[in-house]
Structure 1
Amino acid sequence: MSGIELANVSKSFDTTEVIRGVSLTVDKGELGVFVGPSGCGKSTLLRMIAGLEETTSGRISIGDRDVTRIEPAEREVAMVFQSYALYPHLSVFDNMAFSLRLARASKAQTRDMVQEAARILQLEEHLDKKPAQLSGGQRQRVAIGRAIVRQPKVFLFDEPLSNLDAELRVQMRLELARLHRRIGATMIYVTHDQVEAMTLADRIFVLRNGMVQQQGAPLELYNDPDNRFIGGFIGSPAMNFLDGHVTAQNDAGIEVAVDGADGQRLHARLASKRVTGDRVTLGLRPEHLHPNADGLRVRMEMVEALGGVSYLHTRTPDGTELVVEYRGAQPPADSTGIAVGIDPANVVVFDSQGRRLR
């Protein structure tokens, strides 16, 4: 297997630049996930690595080889799409064997490679069936098996679970994670679902407007976002944001008067110097908020009671929504107001432009 390196890669359609100078590395054997909102360029970037989109500028390397201008068939990559793209008239075995036959592999080699892929994907009992006789998850496994038998250097997945229902998506996520551990291949996976990204990735690359906003291990991005967009995009429920202005600072951090909260203040750890009156945004994860009689007063709007955990949907006096995670058998009644507090160490601070302050 080989790693992947992109060096200042750009892509334009006529005068519209959709990928803007992206540089990144997916190490050998790593599962990298491209995640971001619709239209951010993640699928275009994946197709450029596969050779299905021409690179306007920059360099794409797989292993030690520059593949920027090399034809897709010569890049030694295998791609799994959102649609299964199976031949309906062929059996599972024949679908998986198709590329091997095109490559003129021997019958014995074809049989052995298909059976090994079927064993890995638990498809051995289905090799004689047609795609119409399979469930959605089984069809997607056949599509993955078709990629495995080619023994590529890199696997590319373009939102492969989008057509599956919620329960099957969870199951297939686990199967893909197990597959990656079993074969140790270099993989890039594209999704708009940040939960999928968090559960699958060794490293996440968050894209926005054709640029990588931040990259890192899932919990690194969750706990230490570089900007407000990352803080709000990574995590479910999303990070809460409260605007305000700095009223004081000492060695322990800053005090912030929250907008429209009747003079109520929150504290945050911060090393960089601020000036009294500076506008800032505080980022608060739902699980870090807790009932506190001296905390921020909020009114209850709705409770999502999910069993062991509930999400309290509240609003501050000026109408800003604040989601609070509550662990316990009986959440507070949704007709009451509560006060919530937070440890200053768990407050993330952004400037007025959305940039992280540390």
Structure 2
Amino acid sequence: MGVRLTSVAKSFGSFRAIEDVSMEIPTGSFAVFVGPSGCGKSTLLRMIAGLEETSGGEIAIDGRDVTAVEPAEREVAMVFQNYALYPHLTVFENMAFSLRLARRPKDEVNARVGAAARILQLEEHLHKKPSQMSGGQRQRVAIGRAIVRQPKVFLFDEPLSNLDAELRVQMRLELTRLHRKLGATMIYVTHDQVEAMTLADHIFVMKNGHLQQAGPPLVLYDDPDNRFVAGFIGSPAMNFLPARVTARDGSRVFLSVEGSDHPFTTELAAAPPIGETVEIGIRPEHLAIGPAPGLPVTIDVAEELGDVSYLYARTANGQELVVQRQGSRERLDGTTVFLSADPKHVLVFNGEGRRLR
């Protein structure tokens, strides 16, 4: 049954950090809580771990209500951002610490630590102290310390934040392989949506203590429920343009953008009335460059990365856009081009930021 949260809330005095959050995390899944700093994702993780008390609602792990259960009895293991290793102990001793504290038999301790070391490729480092190891190796030791406890749920609180860019990519791959090997339920907190997209099979997007949307990564990418999710998920971020509904033809809607004589179009089951102001969202890879008609923009800067180019453009009224191009190496800096988009990739949001479909 994994982890289930029902109407969970958390207050710090008069401040509501978490507001009526409900979610279901299936057994064996890799779930990621993502959102900007202060959105409540780490508080939510700490409540699952039992390190923060709830102000309301229920938390269940594997079908058991653990809302009032002590952390040590919840069968969870947490990996923190700062490793939290004992510097005077060896890798083996760090990984074995919780088992020895629980007075587990020596043979069992050796077996569990040995198995975790093999999974994490730490067998040759068991005699070392943390100071003799790289940041990535130390993070693997911290993960190994969690593995030996054989928990029902692994909790990760931004574990890669202290690593450099190359190590973060490497550790993302290692975490994915680890999840496949163990088949355990893992819940991971990050503010980095690239980490969320690459690691998760289920993403929970948080903002100001509220759950905005939950689902598989590509569902959130292709079909966001609101402007916040649309803008947060994806790198480079989605482009947004103010527009006005100028005409309708059945479910087909014509959307006029200032500075362009050629409207964008899309299909909406419940179209807003003609004259209403909305906002359209188009991802950089869905903007096509071609001859007029289209939205005229001037290319300020072009970033050529070999296989892909990012063109930073500006409309006549100063609206900034990013266009992604595959394969082309044509230099367009300082030129004016015309942009268009396939109607199926034009998303529409109302004045409150809610997606119109």
| TM surpasses 0.5 | yes
Match of 1:265 among 239, 263, 281: 263
- Residues 79-131 of structure 1: CA deviation (Å, up to 9, x unaligned): 00000100111110000000010011111110010000000001111011110
Distance 1:329 1:276 in 2: 38
Deviates more, 1:207-216 or 1:331-340: 331-340
C-alpha displacement of 1:252: 4.9
Aligned partner letter, 1:172: M
C-alpha displacement of 1:267: 1.2
* 1:268 partner SS: strand
Distance 2:163 2:75 in 1: 28
- Residues 181-223 of structure 1: CA deviation (Å, up to 9, x unaligned): 1100001000000000000001000000101000000000000
Aligned partner letter, 1:57: G
Whether 1:178 and 2:204 are equivalent positions in the alignment is no
1:336 corresponds to which residue? 335
RMSD value, Cα: 0.9
Aligned partner letter, 2:320: E
Whether 1:55 and 2:54 are equivalent positions in the alignment is yes
1:278 corresponds to which residue? 276
C-alpha displacement of 1:262: 4.5
Distance 1:130 1:262 in 2: 64
C-alpha displacement of 1:268: 1.5
C-alpha displacement of 1:180: 0.3
1:37 corresponds to which residue? 36
- The percentage of aligned residue pairs carrying the same residue is 63
2:287 corresponds to which residue? 289
2:94 corresponds to which residue? 95
| Residues 310 and 331 in structure 1, CA contact (< 8 A), matched pair in contact too | no
2:164 corresponds to which residue? 165
Aligned partner letter, 1:226: D
Distance 1:288 1:263 in 2: 20
| Residues 262 and 317 in structure 1, CA contact (< 8 A), matched pair in contact too | no
Whether 1:217 and 2:221 are equivalent positions in the alignment is no
1:308 corresponds to which residue? 307
| Residues 41 and 209 in structure 1, CA contact (< 8 A), matched pair in contact too | yes
Aligned partner letter, 1:24: M
| Residues 305 and 331 in structure 1, CA contact (< 8 A), matched pair in contact too | no
Aligned partner letter, 1:77: V
Aligned partner letter, 1:72: P
| Residues 260 and 296 in structure 2, CA contact (< 8 A), matched pair in contact too | no
* 2:95 partner SS: helix
Distance 2:332 2:3 in 1: 52
Aligned partner letter, 1:339: F
- Residues 122-148 of structure 1: CA deviation (Å, up to 9, x unaligned): 111101111011110000000000000
Query: What TM-score results when the alignment is normalised by the length of structure 1?
Result: 0.98
Aligned partner letter, 2:215: G
1:4 corresponds to which residue? 3
Distance 1:137 1:331 in 2: 40
| Residues 4 and 59 in structure 2, CA contact (< 8 A), matched pair in contact too | yes
Aligned partner letter, 2:126: L
Distance 1:267 1:97 in 2: 61
Aligned partner letter, 1:168: L
| Residues 77 and 154 in structure 1, CA contact (< 8 A), matched pair in contact too | yes
| Residues 260 and 294 in structure 2, CA contact (< 8 A), matched pair in contact too | no
1:226 corresponds to which residue? 225
Whether 1:198 and 2:197 are equivalent positions in the alignment is yes
Distance 2:100 2:11 in 1: 37
- The 1:252–1:21 alpha-carbon spacing in structure 2 relative to 1, beyond 3 Å, is closer
Distance 2:54 2:251 in 1: 49
1:121 corresponds to which residue? 120
The count of residues paired between Structure 1 and Structure 2 equals: 356
* 2:294 partner SS: strand
Distance 1:139 1:299 in 2: 48
Aligned partner letter, 2:277: R
Aligned partner letter, 1:288: H
Query: What TM-score results when the alignment is normalised by the length of structure 2?
Result: 0.98
Deviates more, 1:38-47 or 1:264-273: 264-273
Distance 1:329 1:214 in 2: 35
| Residues 298 and 316 in structure 1, CA contact (< 8 A), matched pair in contact too | yes
